[in-house]
Each structure stands twice: as structure tokens, then as C-alpha cells.
Amino acid sequence: MTSFAAPTDRLTLSPDRLLPADPGVRAIARRLYAAVQDQPIISPHGHVPAQWLADDSPFGDPTSLLLSPDHYVFRLLHAQGIPLEQLGVGDDTPDAEGARRAWRLFCGQWAAFRGTPSRFWMETVIADVFGVTVRPSLESADSIYDQIADALARPEFRPRALMDRFAIDVLATTDDPVDDLRSHAALRDDAGFAHRVVPTFRPDKYLEPARSDFPDLMAALAQASGIDTGSYAGYVAALADRRRYFKDHGAVSSDHSHLDVVTLTLDDAEAARIYDDAIAARVRPQDATALRRHMLVEMARMATEDGLVMTLHPGVHRNHHTATTRRFGPDTGSDIPVTVEFTQGLQPLLDEFGTADGFQLILFTLDETVFSREIAPLAGFYPSVYAGAPWWFLDAPDAVRRFRAATTETAGFYRTSGFVDDTRAFLSIPARHDMSRRLDAGYLARLVAEHQLEEDEALETALDLVTTVPTTAFKL
């Protein structure tokens, strides 16, 4: 007769979670992980608002902190048939009872998260940060909610205190080019704030001439820069001005996400003609695409002048479900990956700037078929190119392991970006970095066990992956 473990309502976190199952390899991984477990966090790509830290206001409730901002969580609940309006998604902030109801819906669907990285992160957050010891369920939902809500009312759970507790040395935000960055300036000038919070220049919508609001965006860009954007030359100058403004406020990178990464170079007259059509709202779709692809090359050119690292993460069909986007706005869970090509698409850009002094380009993807075929070989030749860590749908244990296997043989460890948490869920940052550290310890341990590395080399590499590698890739 087969026997099974008795059901339990306890929430317990194994110290060996995500480490290799083989006892001998696990013993090596334990030693490697122990060396990096408490290293400070470098988070060079994320979406936590700087205003949270500048204001240091208490967080509201468990739902608005842990559930509503996390598209990993609410999109899977939506797939289970729960309407997004019941989860506090969008602009309609739920009242106290609505927030509690949303939390009950989440806990009642806990089984839906089995095997997902979201479960790993959420378990780590509620257990390690809030001391929860019971497994989420419909029956335990209220007690967990109350325990977290009570903690959030205490000073040690305010944003700045958590920055200290989490040992986040560097935190990058993602910012609109016309943002005045006042929160970043306030943090920089605060002698009592010991962390580095840097903005990231995210110009995507300002590089998409096909947008219906492109003329309005150009007006906003003109106002922010003080440069007339009525001409193509003014447009380029205004973007360069805002990049310098971001650099002066601590930015280290620009962030770009379009449907593809095809690049090309237009002559000035053709670029000006298309731009004139765009601000007159009469641009042809094929011309708009050409100008956008040209502007990626312009962003690379500007990067050789101002030193901002250029990060590309293409290949997403944004806002796939029209009704959801109309009701709740963008970034509400219906973005879906598509295939993407790098080698031919980036050749014009890399032909011009791939070996330029100071230029650095980090390539992220949601199409993991290109890790070994394109990204690793590009990073293994061009001194400017780094292989970005598995991102978004790929920041999961097995995908991270596949990334290491796919890229290390061609590009090694030191042509990669270091882990990026890419999250709006502030409290999950340590959990996400912990996941990465465990997985890298496991991968390195296997190389030691197979006699491809000595353990001292693996230890040095494990430490470099959380310190030197991201610092180098993002010029920190």
C-alpha cells in the first residue's frame, strides 16, 4: 500500500529549496549559497516608484501591496475565472472590505500557484518578512491578512526601513522621459538615506510615431526639455537633452521595449519627412515603423556620447486583450510573448557601434530559443553586448537553469547582466534575488561535481554574479 504524507496547514520553507536534489551536489551548493545569501542586493532594472521611498509613507493593506501591483499573481487568478475588478487592479482602489475579499480570493486559489515562481516569492515574503506560519487557504485568509496588516502599521515595515532590512544597495526605477525626477533628487539629497536609487530613461512611447497621441507626446517633450520639437532635429535634440537630465540625476541606463529589435539608418531628409507626417497625424504605418527602427540606432549613438547603458527587451504583444486594456489600462496582465530575432535585426546598429568605446548593450528576451542561437554568440564576440538575465515569463527556476546551460558555453558568466527582478512588488525583491542565488549556486555546484570547475573558482564566480557582474554590465 502506498502511503502519503499527512496533510498539513503549516507553511514551512526548506533551507534547501531550489538546490540540487543529489546529496553530493547539494552539499557543494549549500556552501556556495551560504557565501552569497546575505550579500547586498543590486537591483538595476525594476519598477518600484521612487516616491514610495521619498515619502516613506506606510503601505496600505496586504492586497494593495502584495496582490494588486503584481501581474504575475493577478493574471493567473484571472485565468481561474476571477474578474480583475475583484482584485483591486487598475485605478479603482478597493475599500477595506473589498481589499479583504480580494485577499480571500487569492488565498482560496493557492493551489493554482503550485510549481510557479510566484508561489516561491509569495511564500518567502509572507514567511520571512511577516512571520506567517500557516499555508494560505480560504480558511486561513483572514488570519494571514490581519497578521500582515498589523505589521504594516509598524514603523519597521515602512519603505525605508525595509530597504535597510533587505540590504538593497542599488535600486533602479523606470521613468518617463518628461518626469522631473523630484523624488530621486529628494533621496539623493537626504543625508539620512544610505541607498542608491537611480532613474532609468524609458522612451518607448516617444519613439513610436504610429501612436495616436504622438503629437501630444512631442508637446510634452518640448515643454520638459525647453526645445522646440516641431522639427526632426528638435525632436532628436530634445531626447538628448532629457537623457542628459536623467544622467545628471543618477541614471545609468535607458530601457527599450518594442515589438522587434530591427534597426536601420535613414538619411536626415527621410527621417525629417516621416517625423513631419507623424506630428501632423498622417504618418503611414510602414514609415512609422522605419522611423522607430532608425531611432533605436539614434539611441545607441546617444549612448556613445552620454554613457547610458542601452537595454533592449523586445518581443511582447502588449495589451493582447482589448477589453481588459480599455477597462483597466496597460500592464494589467494580458501581455503575451512573441518570437523575436536579434542577429539580422541588430546588425546595422552593431556594425556602427558594436565596438565603440564605452557603448554597452544588454539583450533581454522572452523567446528563450534565441539564448544559445543568437544572444550568447553576440555577447561572445561584441565587447559591447551582454546577455540579459531571464526576464518576465522566464524568471522561473527551470528557465534560469536553461539560460545558464544555453549561454555559459558560448559567453561564459561575465558577459551576462546579473539578475534583474523587474518588479513593482517591492517586498518580493529579496525573494526574487534569493531564487537567483540559489539557482546559480546549484548550477555552479554541478560544474564542480563534474570537475569542470574547482570549488574556489565556483565560489568566486557566485560572488561575482551578485556583485561584479551587474556592476560592470550596468556601469554602477
> What pLDDT is attached to residue 90?
80
- Of the chain, the end-to-end C-alpha distance in Å amounts to 59
Residue 5 pLDDT > 80, yes or no?
no
Same domain as 165, residue 150: no
pTM of the model: 0.96
Beta bridge partners of 310: 254, 361
Q: Model confidence over 26-70: pLDDT tens digits? A: 999 999 999 999 999 999 999 999 999 999 999 999 999 999 989
- Domain presence at residue 7: no
- Domain presence at residue 52: no
Q: Rounded mean pLDDT of the chain? A: 96
Band the pLDDT of 3: cuts 50, 70, 90. Answer: low
Same domain as 253, residue 121: no
Same domain as 163, residue 134: no
> What pLDDT is attached to residue 93?
77
- Domain presence at residue 373: yes
- Domain presence at residue 366: yes
Locate cell 525605508: which residue?
Answer: 160
Domain endpoint, select from 156, 171, 186: 156
Same domain as 439, residue 370: yes
Same domain as 177, residue 152: no
Same domain as 145, residue 168: no
> What pLDDT is attached to residue 54?
97
What are the CA-CA distances from residue 210 to residues 213, 227, 233, 285, 338 (Å)?
A: 9, 22, 19, 6, 20
Q: Model confidence over 331-345: pLDDT tens digits? A: 899 999 999 999 999
- Domain presence at residue 30: no
Same domain as 412, residue 302: yes
Q: What is the CATH number of the domain that holds 85?
A: 1.10.2020.10
> What pLDDT is attached to residue 8?
67
Same domain as 280, residue 140: no
Domain endpoint, select from 156, 188, 217: 156
Range of the domain at 392: 159-473
Same domain as 295, residue 284: yes
> What pLDDT is attached to residue 351?
98
- Domain presence at residue 431: yes
Domain endpoint, select from 129, 156, 183: 156
For residue 178 the three cell numbers come to 518628461
Helices 96-108 and 71-79 pack at an angle, to 10 degrees, of 70
Same domain as 449, residue 342: yes
> What pLDDT is attached to residue 45?
96
- Domain presence at residue 388: yes
- Domain presence at residue 46: no
Residue 166 pLDDT > 60, yes or no?
yes
**Pairwise CA distance, residues 322 & 308, whole Å:** 35
Contact assessment for residue 26 and residue 445, using Cβ atoms and an 8 Å cutoff: yes
Sheet strands (E) in 78-220:
168-172, 196-198
Give how many domains the chain has, as a whole number. Answer: 2
For residue 310 the three cell numbers come to 542601452
Q: In this structure, are strands 309-312 and 253-256 parallel, antiparallel, or unpaired?
A: parallel
> What pLDDT is attached to residue 231?
98
Please choose, from the candidates 462, 367, 453, the residue with its C-alpha nearest in 3D space to the C-alpha of residue 419. 462
Same domain as 135, residue 255: no
Same domain as 349, residue 425: yes
Q: What is the CATH number of the domain that holds 379?
A: 3.20.20.140
Query: In this structure, what DSSP letter does residue 376 have?
Result: H
Range from 83-97, 112-126, 212-226 carrying the lowest mean pLDDT = 83-97
